[in-house]
Amino acid sequence: MKKTLFPILALALAVSLALPLAAPVTAADPGCSISGYKYLCDPETGECTVGLEGWTITLEDAQGTVLQTDTTESDGSYEFTGLSDGTYTVSETLRDGWTNCTPASYDITIDESCQIHGTGVVVSDTNTMVTAGNSTPPDHAAVYAWEAFNDPPDTTQSVWDKNLKLNNVLYDFSPSGADWIWESYRVVHPVLGDIVDFQRTFYIPGTPTGGTLYITADNQYTVTLNDTPTPIGSDIIWQSVEPYHHGVDFLLESGNNLLEITATNAPTPGSNQDKNPGGLIYELSYEFDADKLNFCNRWLEADCSISGYKYLCDESGECTGVGLEGWTINLTGPVSQTTTTDVDGYYEFAGLPSGTYTVSETLEDGWEACTPTSYQVNLEGAENHGVVVSDTDTMVTKGNVDGATYQHNAEYAWVHGSWWGGLTHDFSTSGADWIWESYRVVHSIDGDVVTFERTFDIPGSPTGGTLYITCDNAYEVYLNDTITSVGRAQFGTGWETSNLTKAYVDTTHWQSVENYDVSALLQRGTNILVIKAANEYMGTLDDQADGTVDSNPAGLIYELLYEFDVTATERNFSNREVNTCPEEPGSRTLGFYKNHPCVVEQVLPITIATENVTTVERAIEIIKDRGTHRSRLLSQLLVAMLNAAVFGIGDCTLEYIGLEGDQTVDEVIAEAEALLADPDATKDELSAMQDLLDRINNSNTDAPLPEDIAEACPPGGGPPKTPPGKAKGKGKGK
């Protein structure tokens, strides 16, 4: 502490806070409890927001003995049970890097009716904020002020403290922890004087029942509580030795309270920082009744956020920029939350503390991901990372299987007994596995060449990447349209046009796993990894016995590890609807269903035009009724619905089944139902829709029935068999 050359006198103010009395105690309860929540608080408003999981809450008795501890649940809740009436302290264990928005502990008493009565205190310390001042920019924490001391022998108590009086009696702030504060250690303008605005937010976890404010300043102050000016204020300069106090109804509230104090250091001509110091000291004690004791905390650093978009992607996997509304995005980590995307596909998690998070999407039925379904995000300055591995998400773009459609998903390969044990790299931790175009090789003697492609998304700026890869037998790797390969192994010159014999494909070194630094080739957004893989020729040209699927197997395995910059806190997801339309969509006509009631029976009941059709007889009756425009449309509609149920063509577009248009069959069915429900529909409209449904029902009458339907309804009639399972895409309205 610094010495001074003169004594200073100061004032103290006591303010009584008159509030309603607590309800009277009625009856004893054999077992009481204390419960509440641990919340994250908004750094801007101080409001408690979402629950914090895994925090320790402690219960102590009046002697400081720990009675119970509890760990907060996923919603932030905690509870102590089996308590008798008495005095307790409930406290949280504060973590490094966090600060309190509410008291770190509550001193409470439980009465015989299990009602909780508590006390709290708010004091002048560095948790008080300076919102306007004279030196540094506003909105910073107050600092402990310079205090004046007498010359020896009295250097243990400042002149301010030793002269504070309440009703002519010295008042001691030290038990509460209050101390002198100002905007800076020294006043800025000792001659002209300083005016400083202070603000303190504090939290009362229940209904306030009383409170007292003790306050003084060198030299003057005014007080506002919860946006209401109060008569508390001093017009007497610091030299006055008279006590100064006002009684006032304080406007304390349950939850957040705001105390605002404007303190003035009076101008003193010819003075200096030693002769005209500035300081404020206060303590506000309060009482409350509570049902819950909540704790609320925030991260000390600037708040972070994770945001992004949920987009529709096209068939090639490219993002279209069309947002998808109403999808669930999940966040787990120091704070766990869920949110849904808005009309533009946007989502955001704001006010996050630092730490490592996983942000993921909830994939809906009938959709597939074009981007990763989850990302790890580290908001502490470390790098984010991801991995792409050989699995069935790898696509085969060129291969050897007769009749195969390219591209198609790779398959997990038949694994030779020597593959896993002979590798020089452990792939197991990443989930990589052996893949090929088919479970077994196609040409075990002549060998196969297969081209694989894997598209993946990196949501930040890549900072590193390593590819581990091997193949039985040889491979060549390209990344993001590179003209020259990233790497190759076991291939000889001219292998592309060769017969894959030993001169072109090395058959002895596949166990050696190569690794390549691909950092410079990775890019933010979409990346494409292309691998050309070959299985050797095995036969007489190489003085070997002819290969078999067992002696000459083929497989590719890889993992690509990458890192990216954490400064990009936007994580986007992109999805597309899965095409559930069968490869060979079929349909049948009115006559088929009239003559094959067994097939109709397999997909009943069906709801059509508000009628729930439950019997074959009623279905056939509708199909046969062709008397009016509406009945003819109803007949074709029922057959279209039967075709959608039997052959699974509801999700097929008209173009897919050989007609013109991008509507699906289900969408046409819905339009037909709406038309039938419209009493004003014209004959032309009814006829046009009937014609469209007729063309749908005749689009492919040669397609075979699904196996389960065919098994239940054998050719030539006869009693139907019990089908092993209903056909996919059963009738509408079931």
Average pLDDT over residues 584-595: 90
Is residue 321 classed as helix, strand or coil in its secondary structure? strand
pTM value is 0.44
User: Residue 546 carries which DSSP code?
Assistant: P
537, with CB counted inside 10 A (0-12, 13-18, 19+), is buried
**Domain harbouring 90, CATH code:** 2.60.40.10
Helix-helix angle 683-697:665-677, to 10 degrees = 150
Q: Regarding predicted confidence, which is higher, 37 or 266?
A: 37
Q: Which CATH number does the domain housing residue 240 bear?
A: 2.60.120
Answer yes or no: is pLDDT of 720 > 70: no
Judge if 102 and 170 occupy the same domain: no
Q: What residue has token string 């029935």?
A: 705
Strands 194-204 and 611-613 turn out to be unpaired
| Residue 584 covered by a domain | no
Which band of pLDDT confidence, cut at 50, 70 and 90, is reported for residue 669?
very high
pLDDT band at 134 (very low <50, low <70, confident <90, very high): confident
Q: Helices 665-677 and 629-647 sit at what angle, rounded to 10 degrees?
A: 150
144 and 283 in a single domain? The answer is yes
Same structural domain, 101 and 171? no
Question: Could you give the CA distance from residue 450 to residue 535 in angstroms, rounded to a whole number?
Answer: 9
Domain assignment of residue 38, yes or no: yes
* Amino acid 295: pLDDT: 92
Determine the pLDDT at residue 645. Answer: 92
CA of residue 599 relative to chain centroid, distance = 47
Q: Is residue 389 predicted with pLDDT exceeding 90? A: yes
The model's pLDDT over 13-55, given as tens digits with 9 standing for 90+, comes to 334 444 444 444 333 445 899 999 998 887 667 778 888 888 9
Q: Which of 236, 262, 290 is the last residue of a domain?
A: 290
Is there a single domain that holds both residue 565 and residue 685? no
Kindly tell me if the per-residue pLDDT of 419 is higher than 70: yes
In a domain, residue 583? The reply is no
Structure token pair of residue 584: 């060979």
Burial code (b: 16+ CB inside 10 Å, e: under 16) for 549-560 equals eeebbbbbbbbb
Q: Is residue 734 part of a domain?
A: no
User: 117 lies in a domain?
Assistant: no
Give the per-residue pLDDT at 74: 86
Are 127 and 259 in contact, with CB atoms under 8 Å apart? no
* pLDDT score at 157: 65
pLDDT value of position 166: 63
Residue 10 pLDDT = 35
391 pLDDT above the threshold of 90: yes
Residue 533 pLDDT > 80:
yes
Dihedral angle sign, alpha carbons of residues 485, 491, 495, 496: negative
- Measured between alpha carbons, how far is 413 from 542 in angstroms, rounded to an integer? 25
Residue 8 lies in a domain: no
Q: Which pLDDT value is given to residue 232?
A: 65
Task: Flag whether pLDDT at 454 surpasses 50.
Answer: yes
DSSP-derived secondary structure for 138-182: SSEE-EEPP---PSTT--SS-HHHHT-EETTEE---GGGT---EE
What is the Cα–Cα distance from 621 to 245, expressed in whole angstroms?
95
**460 or 102, which is more confident:** 102
Between residues 441 and 2, the one the model is more confident about: 441
Mean pLDDT across 85-94:
93
Q: Among 108, 136, 161, which residue terminates a domain?
A: 108
| Least confident window among 223-227, 590-594, 724-728 | 724-728
Question: Are residues 223 and 326 both part of a single domain?
Answer: no
Looking from the CA of 400 toward its CB, the CA atoms found within 13 Å total 18
Claim to verify: residue 213 and residue 159 sit in the same structural domain: yes
Long-range CB contacts (< 8 A, 24+ apart) of 607-613? 607/731, 607/732, 607/733, 607/734, 608/634, 608/637, 608/638, 608/641, 608/673, 608/732, 608/733, 609/634, 609/637, 609/673, 609/676, 609/677, 610/677, 612/733, 613/638
Compare 595 and 97 and report the one with higher pLDDT: 595
Tell me if 118 sits within 8 A of 33, measured CB to CB: no
- φ and ψ at residue 357, rounded to 5 degrees: -125, 155
Between residues 60 and 277, the one the model is more confident about: 60
Higher pLDDT, 445 or 512: 445
Tell whether 232 and 269 lie within a shared domain: yes
Given 57, 83, 108, the domain boundary residue is: 108
Q: Is 681 left (phi over 0), alpha (psi -120 to 50) or beta?
A: beta
**553/599 same-domain check:** no
Query: Do 573 and 605 have their domain in common?
Result: no
Residue 476's pLDDT band, with cuts at 50, 70 and 90, is very high
Condensed to tens digits (0 to 9), the pLDDT of residues 541-556 reads 999 999 999 999 999 9
| Cβ pair 214, 283 in contact under 8 A | yes
Range of the domain at 647: 590-712
Residues 278, 166: one domain? Answer: yes
CA distance 246 to 532: 87
Q: How far apart are CA 607 and CA 669, in angstroms?
A: 12
**Count of domains in the chain?**
4
509 within domain boundaries: yes
Let me know whether 630 and 557 are in one domain: no
**Which pLDDT score, from 0 to 100, does residue 730 have?**
39
Question: Is residue 147 situated within a structural domain?
Answer: yes
Out of 63-67, 458-462, 711-715, pick the least confident: 458-462
Q: Taking all residues of the chain, what is their mean pLDDT, rounded to a whole number?
A: 82
> Which stretch of 229-243, 255-269, 467-481, 620-634 has the lowest confidence by average pLDDT?
229-243
pLDDT at residue 86 greater than cutoff 90? yes
Instruction: Tell me how far apart the alpha carbons of residues 449 and 724 are, in angstroms, rounded to a whole number.
Output: 40
Q: What is the mean predicted confidence (pLDDT) over 728-734?
A: 38
Tell me the β-bridge partners of 58. Answer: 69, 91
Q: Are 52 and 133 found together in one domain?
A: no
Q: Inform me whether the pLDDT recorded for 4 exceeds 60.
A: no
More confident position, 384 or 655: 655
- The residue to which tokens 């990346």 are assigned: 527
